[in-house]
Structure 1
């Protein structure tokens, strides 16, 4: 029996793993200048971030329509479908997937990963590896649930201006809502965002970011994500060398994430 695996492009799963495991990726959407673009289909991430700085107001972001998920589910081979997505507290993608799954009854298991970027990608990869190992559906679902429980995303923003301009600064509540000249360190776990540090300079913010990750001890998995500054992500990975025995991929964040967290943002997704 084939177990099918679906996610969306905000999971940032490395393309080689998408191809190797036959993962179906539903693209998220951005609207620039009145034109809609599908992530990594109609526009590359490099091109998007190159153009982003020139846009005022910011582009808008959108979840795929429920019908898009329904079409994808209908195209898959017979067998159960595991569909893993960004936290419902942060995006409409999970709810769109859930609505798209309704015509299929219990065949589709739609899972809220409670995270974003590789915080979703790691549970997707755990599912893919479990499926490749020939595990039964319930064992695959347990591998996903176990990974979700142990996953944390830490993000260091260089500015909160994009959050303000996109109307998303309320996600961080009053802790920074009135203070724009800071570089917040944000934790995401279980669908909840929390500001764990605030600094006014990167000189102070970056060491604290690295220290927070190192304080978690040896890690099972580690990924580094960035918006438009790949060298910054490489520096973070270098500073965290030895924290994780497994290779740590560096990935450019989806436009639907980067639009809001802004330029020079860097993050890690870890599985403890």
Structure 2
């Protein structure tokens, strides 16, 4: 049986793609009052205030990994999770893998959204080609390392409240109604540059994504939080300015990431080299 790939719901992979590729998705959690909503499983009401989030627990991951390992016939499980700097899910996954043995490997994507989704998708493609657990692991690590994640938000308040960006950067972003462009560096979300208007911030976002994409084949994802028109416009510009796009995904982010970035946010993930099995270094069998 092929190696089974597991990821978490912050990957923003569509249910259709997950089903087609045989990827297992562990839900992250949205917490409100006494309710625990599992992202991608339970319907999360919009407009909730005082919402917090939590990662997947060790117990949840043990259950999913164990079932995946059994379904693989012992060939193995490769789990790719949201950055350890943004969630405790990777650490819980590491603990779960230690409990189950060496046939379960865990990768820190050092990102979120399709910065996580592309490595998981590439790993699943390698697994479906019948490659070994080591080859699947190496592919996920390689694609994760190539990914670049950028985002613009209307306000930094949500990120500051959730502890995903420092207070000083948050104050810098709200001063004079600045519209910040952020990017992920070493798994952390940090300020890239400031702009004064939403129009300028989206233009800078596109410019930065084009720069990061380079000249060769590239997989691109555009994410949004209740801002489909903005996302479609950004996707159209990227398609025009990056002629070698091998894969383009436009999707609304889930409730967990949406809680932290707030409504109106638009993000771009570029993965130079793409996320296919044909590119280099899938690793030896």
Shift of residue 29 of structure 1?
Answer: 0.5
Residues 44-193 of structure 1 mapped to structure 2, 5 A cutoff = 48=45, 51-52=46-47, 55-57=48-50, 59-76=51-68, 77=71, 78-79=73-74, 80-164=76-160, 166-168=161-163, 171-172=165-166, 174-180=168-174, 181-193=177-189
Give RMSD over aligned pairs: 1.7
Return structure 1 stretches of 4+ with deviation > 6 angstroms: none
**Are the counterparts in 1 of residues 2 and 130 from structure 2 also a CA contact under 8 Å?**
no
Q: 1:172 to 1:185 in 2, by over 3 A?
A: farther
Q: 1:113 to 1:167 in 2, by over 3 A?
A: closer
Under a length normalisation based on structure 2, what TM-score does the superposition of the two structures give?
0.86
Q: Deviations over 1:40-73 (max 9, x none)?
A: 2111xxx64xx22xx333x110112110111112
Distance 1:22 1:167 in 2: 32
Distance 1:178 1:237 in 2: 28
Shift of residue 178 of structure 1?
Answer: 4.9
**Are the counterparts in 1 of residues 146 and 271 from structure 2 also a CA contact under 8 Å?**
yes
Q: Deviations over 1:11-66 (max 9, x none)?
A: 111222210111110001001232111112111xxx64xx22xx333x11011211
In structure 1, the gaps of 5 or more residues are none
Shift of residue 121 of structure 1?
Answer: 0.3
Q: Which SS does the other structure have where 1:176 is aligned?
A: helix
Q: Which SS does the other structure have where 2:101 is aligned?
A: helix
Distance 1:69 1:167 in 2: 23
**Are the counterparts in 1 of residues 180 and 194 from structure 2 also a CA contact under 8 Å?**
yes
Under a length normalisation based on structure 1, what TM-score does the superposition of the two structures give?
0.90
Shift of residue 156 of structure 1?
Answer: 0.8
Q: Which SS does the other structure have where 1:251 is aligned?
A: strand
Q: Deviations over 1:75-130 (max 9, x none)?
A: 22232110000010111111111122222111210110110111000000110111
**Are the counterparts in 1 of residues 220 and 245 from structure 2 also a CA contact under 8 Å?**
no
| Aligned match of 2:239 | 241
Distance 2:94 2:133 in 1: 19
Distance 2:226 2:255 in 1: 10
| Aligned match of 2:199 | 203
Q: Which SS does the other structure have where 1:249 is aligned?
A: strand
Shift of residue 173 of structure 1?
Answer: 5.5
